[in-house]
Structure 1
Amino acid sequence: MKYTINPLTTVNDTRVFDVDSAITVRNVRFQNRYGFMVAGHLYLPTDFDSSKKYAAIVISGPFGAVKEQASGLYAQTLAERGFVTVAFDQSTTGESSGDIRNVASPDIFVEDFSAAVDFLGTQSYVDREKIGAIGICGLGSHALTAASIDVRIKAVATSVMYDMAESMWSGLNNSKTEAQRELEKQYLAQMRWEDVDNDTHVGGYHELPFDENNQPVRANKLFPDELPADADLVTTEFFNYYVKRAFHPRAINSATIWDATSPWGYYNFPLQQRIEKITAPKLIVTGEKAHSRYMAEAAYKHLSDPKELVLVPNATHTDLYDGGGHDYIPFDKFESFFKENLK
């Protein structure tokens, strides 16, 4: 395994949230077991002492975001509260490696969490028996899947969790029909033929929409520069976060789109198949008004004790990315959960 730490602090960089200058942040790279170099930001606690042993947390998400967005905010805030944290870009995205860009994989993205645990566990100031994980949005389902096998994750939390495999297969609120699934299979086959015939990698939606004629919609960018007047509430919410208040040029959701074949892996290899086997403590946080709430509640139902579900009053899905202009993110709860279970 290869690990690198840049000793230069990443201050005045491209993070989209308010940077705390009291927190030391370092650029890091660590290799997962498939050979991808995963890019991260390592956050060290206030008054960091390298001779001490700290509890640590690996953090990633949302799906299609970068470490300069929500995961970095979570990492910085928990470092302020005494944890060593690392926020990272999933393989093939952001600053992480991958010759073919923006290809989503359930297996590789789950592995990235374990690779982040590998990295933190090699640091002399991290207690290997005190490592936890947080997955935000679509990476929440990956974090739970990782914890179902990787017993080195001693506590796991999710925030506004999306089950990406189920959402791709069934559609939001189980809206996709069997006929549409068959059409999507034909669409994915066509995308693969286009790739092999033209030596390209066609971009496309990871959650495929259908037009008024029930045909798959193609695109080369997830969101337009301006929001259509008839945009639905969910699209509007994501647009306002990724394109407006938290735009980042490396984020798929802000500036580009996934590889069109990304649903392929999630259709074949669903996430969360064994999450009831997780023995570590679990914390499931979601918003009272989050459109994804039903996915978090479904995961919570399948989890075994010890577990806790927190519904944040009045919060929507993206309110738990950055607070939504309020103090919606329950950082006190995340802090107490990890301090209790990584002690």
Structure 2
Amino acid sequence: MMQKVRFKNRTWDLAGHLHLPENFDDTQQYPAVVCVHPGSSVKEQTAGLYAAQLAENGFIALAFDASFQGESSGEPRFLEDPATRVEDIRCAVDFLTTLAYVDNNRIGAMGVCAGGGYAANASISEKRIKAIASVVGTNPSRAFREGNPEETLKAVALQRTSEANGAEKLINNWIPNSAEEAKGVGKEEMDLLEAIDYYRTARGQHPNSCNKLLFKSMSNLILFDAFHLAEYFLTQPLLVIVGDKVGGFGSYRDGFELYNKARSTNKKIHIVKGASHYDLYDRPEATEEALKQIIPFFQENL
């Protein structure tokens, strides 16, 4: 069972799907998990898949669209602002605490890809989150610092000046719109091609996930370190899921960095053999193995 919900981040609304367990009874209290989607994604995609499975196993699970994206409000549109993404998670926890059927002492968070990095970062300071699971989680700063970040920062500065003086906002695609387009510009890396297969074909495509990124987001993405101070303050139980088919997006190494850096004494990393980054978005064999780790992890720690 799923309910559409809305809750606030500052002055704007966030749109969410609240997944409820079978035989839900609003006179009882349940553990709850905030499910955080990847960059460019929306609640109906991989975060929603995991949320639905958590609900089938007795959890309240909240998947929501990030600020400025999907069905959520906020301006400017298509902004990917890591600090706001983390605040979205805190606001999702705020919302869950207003529900009488949620046990406020049993709230967890999980995220996929960048959502895993954001969930970890939120948990560093948000101690209402009692346990964290990361599925192919990435550290956005690491991912976007690779390449030529200094030139990107200079380009953002020029673009901001242009927009301040009346130019239209520059909105780019997150990824090429097709494999043919990627090959045409010499971008045939495994993770990128699998991203196209997930986001830009019938496999995972959703109309609200429109592949648009406001260019000036790049300065914040380059500078944001999702794992900053994890060695001091990420003390909650932690589960990290990675696949051993390693691609260019870096979730395998980021998963080990998070695992090694976290101060948590109760932490585990699980490697899904033969799985790529995007297999763990929706491929049944890979996601089922991940869920066999995630469900008992939250049952034991929430």
Letter of the structure 2 residue corresponding to residue 279 of structure 1: T
Is this contact kept in 2: 1:136–1:159, CA < 8 A?
yes
Rounded Cα–Cα distance in structure 2 between residues aligned with 1:146 and 1:68: 22
The corresponding residue for 1:320 is 280
The corresponding residue for 1:270 is 225
1:127-183 C-alpha deviation (Å, 9 max, x unpaired)? 0000000011011111111001010000011000110012112x2xxxx3xxx3332
1:103-128 C-alpha deviation (Å, 9 max, x unpaired)? 11111100111111111111010000
| Superposition TM-score, scaled by structure 2 size | 0.92
SS at match of 1:198: coil
Q: Equivalent of 2:2, from 18, 25, 42?
A: 25
Is this contact kept in 2: 1:320–1:329, CA < 8 A?
no
Deviation at 1:26, TM superposition (A): 0.8
The corresponding residue for 1:8 is none
Q: 1:49 to 1:288 in 2, by over 3 A?
A: same
Q: Equivalent of 1:239, from 182, 196, 208?
A: 196
The corresponding residue for 1:14 is none
| Superposition TM-score, scaled by structure 1 size | 0.81
How do 1:281-300 residues align onto structure 2 when only pairs under 5 Å count? 281-291=237-247, 292-300=251-259
| Larger strand share, 1 or 2 | 2
Q: 1:109 to 1:329 in 2, by over 3 A?
A: farther
Two-structure CA RMSD over aligned residues (Å): 1.6
Q: Structure 2: any 5+ residue segments left out of the alignment? A: none
How do 1:154-193 residues align onto structure 2 when only pairs under 5 Å count? 154-169=130-145, 171=146, 176=147, 180-193=148-161
The share of aligned pairs that are identical, in percent, is: 34
Deviation at 1:37, TM superposition (A): 1.3
Rounded Cα–Cα distance in structure 2 between residues aligned with 1:166 and 1:155: 24
The corresponding residue for 2:95 is 119
Q: Structure 1: any 5+ residue segments left out of the alignment? A: 1-23, 205-219
1:1-42 C-alpha deviation (Å, 9 max, x unpaired)? xxxxxxxxxxxxxxxxxxxxxxx111111112x323111000
The corresponding residue for 2:41 is 65
The corresponding residue for 2:293 is 333
The corresponding residue for 1:279 is 235
Q: 1:329 to 1:318 in 2, by over 3 A?
A: farther
The corresponding residue for 1:19 is none
Is this contact kept in 2: 1:100–1:201, CA < 8 A?
no
Rounded Cα–Cα distance in structure 2 between residues aligned with 1:332 and 1:84: 18
Letter of the structure 2 residue corresponding to residue 166 of structure 1: R
Rounded Cα–Cα distance in structure 2 between residues aligned with 1:297 and 1:247: 29
Rounded Cα–Cα distance in structure 2 between residues aligned with 1:326 and 1:137: 15
Is this contact kept in 2: 1:322–1:329, CA < 8 A?
no
The corresponding residue for 1:106 is 82
Deviation at 1:269, TM superposition (A): 3.9
Rounded Cα–Cα distance in structure 2 between residues aligned with 1:152 and 1:86: 15
**Corresponding residue pairs, total:** 292
The corresponding residue for 1:15 is none
Q: 1:56 to 1:263 in 2, by over 3 A?
A: same
